[in-house]
């Protein structure tokens, strides 16, 4: 199936989505319109049934970065933030492998784009040009971040300041690309690789991506913890079950890429080991103070924006993706903060509500269609859930108070208390998520079975 979304050509084959930048007359240089179309395509790539993504260029170029004809009229800093940064971030956040099939010149921010992908394969005729310095600019769009990781500090510096055009063969020798194929074979090879990856356990790939991204700047202790947390989640997926069963039965596995089946689209993932640092337990309420205010303010703001979202859903039948992700992160941040406050987890939370950054995390669905009736009467419908969530809020606070003494005494949170605290947060999060129009599924008292051992 092929569809044309403005300046980006999308091709879908099974679980593989191919995104081809489509301004061949300027080697796919980015202008505002191409950025928007590319962003929309990356949003499409978030869909659960897309399990691998290929990014390539139409015509003889991959992407040559900023369209130099548009330069004069753009606010550079805002242009970078509003266009390039959000797309590069989205690629890193995609919970599936992203392959850059570099078919021709990758220059400037086009080189950064290729470097931001998980895997790069190149056509023999492809070239890699850190064009920035040639026009007196510095690398941007993550160029220094990703290229330094690929080739090392010294080589990255020499390359960037020389502006030298690298051939595909050189790029392979340097480790910029993992494979070089004949020009005419690139699309087929990229597709074959994407199909192979799409048939693998997608959740496991997503968490591998997350762990590798975090590795560079983590301490060994933190990285070991992250690996353990992610492994605990991976072991809950149907693909783990299938992988082990297939191995024991000596047959090839049939992976689905599905996450552990949630009872509810907004599910709490608890990967906490119940160890508590007594010092921060002692001052927990004080330490959590700034977070609590910020989380409440952010949720309130999201609540106001939900009025707009409600109108959008009533008109279009589905939420606006940007507003959805804003509220989603506000709610996730609230979950992290409450888990910290109620001693359901121990590390000091980060301020941004990013997924996978806290042992008690909120799993969320991608923005999907929602029932208009349930949207129109959401507040009325939610009243029983709000009452129950308030009761559970009090229960959680009482449990945390008792747990506070226990954690101070033994340096661990008793399992029952931790689980009950998590249960209260989970129901409250589902209620807020229902109110914030993240899902039209009613909050559920049933929850998926806890994994033994935690």
Q: Which residues are at the interface with ligand LHQ (CB under 6 A)?
A: 26-27, 29, 64-69, 76, 79-80, 105, 107-109, 129, 131-132, 135, 137, 140
* Cβ atoms within 10 Å of 318's Cβ, excluding its own: 13
Q: Are 413 and 230 in contact (CB under 8 A)?
A: no
Strand partners, 122: 102, 180
Contacts of 116 (CB under 8 A, 6+ apart): 88, 91, 92, 141, 142, 146
Q: Are 441 and 447 in contact (CB under 8 A)?
A: no
Query: Shortest approach of ligand LHQ to residue 70 CB, angstroms?
Result: 8
Contacts of 224 (CB under 8 A, 6+ apart): none
Q: Tokens 């130099």 — which residue?
A: 68
Nearer to ligand LHQ, 142 or 201 (CB): 142
**Order of strands across the sheet with 119-123?**
2-5, 8-13, 16-21, 52-57, 98-102, 119-123, 179-181
Nearer to ligand LHQ, 27 or 177 (CB): 27
Our measurement of the distance from residue 258's CA atom to the centroid of its chain's CA atoms, rounded to an integer in Å, reads 16
Query: Shortest approach of ligand LHQ to residue 42 CB, angstroms?
Result: 18
Nearer to ligand LHQ, 156 or 436 (CB): 156
Q: Tokens 């091709």 — which residue?
A: 11
Nearer to ligand LHQ, 134 or 280 (CB): 134
Nearer to ligand LHQ, 141 or 302 (CB): 141
Phi, psi torsion values for 16, nearest 5 degrees: -105, 125
Nearer to ligand LHQ, 108 or 365 (CB): 108
Query: Shortest approach of ligand LHQ to residue 11 CB, angstroms?
Result: 24
Nearer to ligand LHQ, 79 or 310 (CB): 79
Q: Tokens 């970078």 — which residue?
A: 80
Query: Shortest approach of ligand LHQ to residue 144 CB, angstroms?
Result: 12
Taking alpha carbons only, the member of 6, 9, 7 closest to residue 23 is 7
Query: Shortest approach of ligand LHQ to residue 73 CB, angstroms?
Result: 11
The token pair that represents 211 in the structure block? 């762990």
The sign of the torsion formed by the CA atoms of 159, 213, 438, 350 equals: negative
Query: Shortest approach of ligand LHQ to residue 74 CB, angstroms?
Result: 6
Nearer to ligand LHQ, 57 or 201 (CB): 57
Contacts of 188 (CB under 8 A, 6+ apart): none
């Amino acid at each position: 199936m092929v569809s044309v979304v403005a300046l980006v050509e999308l091709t879908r084959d099974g679980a593989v989505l191919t995104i081809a930048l489509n301004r061949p007359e300027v080697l796919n240089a980015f202008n505002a319109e191409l950025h928007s179309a590319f962003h929309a395509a990356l949003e499409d790539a978030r869909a659960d049934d897309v399990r691998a993504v290929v990014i390539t260029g139409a015509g003889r170029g991959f992407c040559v970065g900023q369209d130099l004809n548009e330069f004069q009229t753009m606010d550079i800093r805002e242009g970078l933030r509003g266009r390039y940064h959000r797309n590069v971030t989205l690629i890193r956040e995609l919970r599936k492998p992203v392959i850059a099939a570099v078919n021709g010149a990758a220059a400037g921010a086009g080189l950064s784009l290729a470097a931001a992908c998980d895997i790069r394969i190149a056509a023999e005729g492809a070239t890699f040009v850190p064009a920035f310095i040639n026009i007196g600019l510095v690398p941007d769009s993550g160029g220094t971040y990703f290229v330094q990781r690929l080739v090392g500090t010294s080589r990255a510096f020499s390359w960037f300041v020389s502006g030298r055009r690298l051939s595909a063969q050189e790029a392979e020798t340097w480790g910029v690309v993992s494979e070089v194929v004949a020009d005419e074979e690139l699309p087929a090879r990229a597709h074959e690789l994407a199909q192979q990856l799409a048939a693998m356990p997608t959740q496991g790939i997503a968490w591998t991506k997350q762990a590798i991204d975090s590795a560079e700047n983590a301490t060994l202790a933190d990285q070991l913890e992250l690996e353990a947390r992610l492994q605990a989640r991976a072991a809950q997926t149907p693909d783990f079950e299938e992988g082990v069963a297939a191995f024991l039965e000596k047959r090839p596995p049939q992976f689905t890429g599905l996450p552990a089946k949630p009872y509810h689209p907004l599910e709490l993932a608890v990967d906490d080991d119940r160890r508590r640092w007594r010092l921060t337990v002692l001052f927990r309420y004080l330490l959590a103070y700034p977070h609590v205010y910020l989380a409440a303010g952010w949720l309130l703001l999201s609540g106001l924006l939900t009025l707009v979202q409600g109108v959008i859903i009533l008109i279009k039948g589905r939420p606006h993706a940007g507003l959805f992700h804003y509220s989603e992160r506000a709610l996730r941040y609230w979950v992290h903060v409450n888990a910290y406050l109620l001693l359901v987890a121990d590390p000091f939370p980060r301020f941004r509500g990013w997924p996978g950054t806290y042992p008690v995390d909120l799993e969320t669905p991608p923005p999907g269609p929602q029932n208009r009736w349930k949207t129109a009467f959401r507040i009325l419908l939610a009243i029983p859930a709000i009452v129950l969530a308030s009761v559970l809020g009090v229960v959680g606070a009482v449990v945390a108070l008792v747990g506070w003494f226990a954690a101070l005494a033994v340096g661990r949170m008793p399992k029952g208390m931790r689980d009950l605290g998590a249960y209260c947060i989970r129901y409250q999060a589902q209620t807020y998520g229902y109110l914030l129009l993240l899902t039209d599924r009613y909050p559920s008292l049933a929850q998926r079975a806890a994994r033994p051992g935690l």
